[in-house]
Structure 1
Amino acid sequence: MSTDHSQYFRTPKPRPIRPPKLHHATFMTLDVDAMVAFYELVAGLQPVYYAEHAAWLTNDDANHRIALLRLPDVHPPIDKPHSAGLHHTAFEYDSFDGWIDNYERLRAAGIMPVISLDHGMTMSLYYQDPDGNGVEIQVDMFGDWALSKEWMWASQEFSEDQIGPQFDPDKVLAAYRSGISADEIHAGARRGEYAPDRPRAVVTFDDPWPARIAADPTLAAGMPRVTTPGDLS
């Protein structure tokens, strides 16, 4: 009888047997109220717990998906779009119809995407929250994660360009309302048929902080340092 063992007999497991699922993202902020209002409007996230110094929001059965903290010593970021750290969070619609309806709803509320990209596996609208964090609202154009994952892994198209062409969401909306199917729009967007009249030269977010600080110079100091243990006010 062989006494040989597999590599896993003595070697630590390289990954969890049952990997955990991504549950939520947490943001430091100087304005809880503005952030709550934005995420409720854009992605339907409602606060489960809401206080002056923090809020926990969800748009499904989870106890929270986004947490917002206004903690002592938080200060404005420097050169937000080019700083290391979280680039954006993303929310996905399960249908093109729901996705484009949400764009139209937000447009009516004066909320417009900064960047609109057809990545190949998704069509994605990138908004910015009041602190300058990116928020992607996307729809999977394969309608099946297994298929979109396979396309990302195997296609030469994605290997050569992971960003994809920009598109004008107003042109996409008009095409969809005229009866053109989501698949046809997606194919056309990939060919550049819905390109914006003035595409962004650099595909990046804007930095809202210089204007915010100019409007309210007290923001530059950030939150005061904590003086009492446990004080989050």
Structure 2
Amino acid sequence: MTANRDRRRPITRPVFHHTTFATLKLDEMVEFYEAIAGLEPVYHGTDGAWLTNDEANHRIALLALPELKEAVDKGHTVGLHHTAFEYADFHAWLDNYERLVERGIRPFLCLDHGMTMSMYYQDPEGNGVEIQFDTFGSWTKSKEWMWASQEFGENPIGEYFDPDQIVAARESGLEWDDIHRRTRAGHYIPEVIPQVHLPELW
């Protein structure tokens, strides 16, 4: 019998569980992630916190490790760019934007990628956080579109949009799919096109 040499990936695949950040701003980070995505601490001590917004024991871990140093030029160095959270539909997603605006929390970047409409925020340590919804309403369909479409291959970043214009479009009575099509056609471009780089906080 010959050995199975094609072992490039596990036959039983693990599912993604959580992301961990080292932080000098533990309490601020706990407050931010509760505000941005409803993550509540399962445990919040002096040395760390473990947060969840679903049935998992935690989805974000925050470690207040000793002797941490401030990041330097974080927005222009390699590493994690952002962590993403997904709403089930357009209206919940946009309602969340309006709720966060009332708390003084605004995205630094908004992009319609085709398979998602996404707003990018920044936590107190400078890490990116994406809040999105799937425009296909189906991961199977959005995955197929990413794989097969010439449109995504030619422009994977997508179209920039001004979220306040999206709010106004909804208030005018436009349906979400019309708004999505118009966004893809460049109807809601912001006055200033932001960088995809994370903004430098220091």
- Is TM > 0.5 for Structure 1 vs Structure 2? yes
What is the letter of the counterpart of residue 107 of structure 1? V
Q: Deviation string for 1:90-110 (max 9, x for gaps)?
A: 000001110000000001111
Corresponding position of 2:86? 92
What is the alpha-carbon root mean square deviation over aligned residues? 1.1
Q: Does 1:76 align with 2:84?
A: no
1:190 to 184, 189, 193: 184
Moved over 4 A (4+): none
Q: Deviation string for 1:42-76 (max 9, x for gaps)?
A: 00000000011100000000000000001122111
1:55 to 31, 49, 74: 49
Consecutive unaligned residues in structure 1, runs of 5 or more: 211-233
Consecutive unaligned residues in structure 2, runs of 5 or more: none
What is the letter of the counterpart of residue 118 of structure 1? D
Q: Distance in 2 between matches of 1:121 and 1:10?
A: 37
Cα drift, residue 15 of structure 1: 1.4
Corresponding position of 2:198? 205
TM-score, structure 2 normalization = 0.97
TM-score, structure 1 normalization = 0.84
**Residues 1-233 of structure 1 aligned to structure 2 (within 5 Å):** 9-11=3-5, 13-200=7-194, 202-208=195-201, 210=202
Identity of aligned residues (%): 57
What is the letter of the counterpart of residue 51 of structure 2? L
- The number of residue pairs the alignment matches comes to 202
Does structure 1 conserve the Cα–Cα contact (< 8 Å) formed by 2:81 and 2:198?
no
Larger radius of gyration: 1
Which of 1 and 2 has higher RCO (CA within 8 Å, sep 6+)? Answer: 1
